[in-house]
Amino acid sequence: MSRIGIQPIEIPSGVSVSVDDNNEVHVKGPKGEISRVIDPAIQVEVNEQQVVLSRKSNVKKVKALHGLSRALINNMVTGVSQGYSVQLEFNGVGYRAEAKGQILEMSIGYSHDVHFEIPEEVQLEAKTERRSNPKVTLSSHDKELLGEVAAKIRGLRPPEPYKGKGIRYVDEWIRRKAGKAGNV
């Protein structure tokens, strides 16, 4: 059995989970609602305060889908009840970030400013404090969408290992390299 897949998912108060005939799971809570189609080889049952997943066969692919499906549904339940957030830090001389509605306006070392449109499901907050690097906070109830948006922003100017300039996650550690050694 899948060690992750057999664990039941606890449903917190204020969150409702329902399953359609075509194995589509709908999760609704105070932060929003998400739905996802689960593979038909996985059976999803909603009890009073738990969601239990079981598989119909022991094929290797279905075993892998068992744990994956449980993790996806657990992320949906956590997202609509607590939400997720990611912080990005802009390291570099002259780097700045400014939120204008759902558009993130960045100056990240190019000859022009970069404008990045954020989806409606993601909340954006840009903060620049004196004598510190600009920080952008993204928060959403959808963990998958949040990670994708944060990765796209980071991909505009990934951190480089020599000076540490670029856009990085706040909890990310960049392995620094030594520069050229002069021959003396």
Q: Which of helix, strand or coil describes residue 108?
A: coil
Q: How far apart are the first and last CA of the chain?
A: 63
What percent of the chain is predicted at pLDDT more than 90? 85
Mean pLDDT by 10 residues, the chain (184 residues): 84 93 94 94 92 91 92 96 96 94 94 96 93 95 96 96 93 90 63
60-81 and 143-156 are packed helices; what angle lies between their axes, rounded to 10 degrees? 90
Can you tell me the distance from the alpha carbon of 51 to that of 39, in angstroms, rounded to the nearest whole number? 16
Domain spanning 9-81: CATH superfamily: Ribosomal protein L6 (3.90.930.12)
Phi and psi at residue 115, in whole multiples of 5°? Answer: -110, 125
**Model pLDDT, residue 141:** 96
**Model pLDDT, residue 93:** 92
**Model pLDDT, residue 145:** 96
**Model pLDDT, residue 1:** 53
**Model pLDDT, residue 5:** 87
Q: Are residues 31 and 80 in contact, defined by beta-carbon separation less than 8 angstroms?
A: yes
Same fold, 9-81 and 84-169: yes
**Model pLDDT, residue 137:** 97
Q: Tens digit of pLDDT for each residue in 115-130?
A: 999 999 999 999 998 8
**Model pLDDT, residue 65:** 92
Can you tell me the distance from the alpha carbon of 136 to that of 150, in angstroms, rounded to the nearest whole number? 10
**Model pLDDT, residue 184:** 56
**Model pLDDT, residue 106:** 95
Q: Where are the domains of the chain?
A: 9-81, 84-169
- Number of residues that make up the chain: 184
Domain spanning 84-169: CATH superfamily: Ribosomal protein L6 (3.90.930.12)
Phi and psi at residue 152, in whole multiples of 5°? Answer: -65, -40
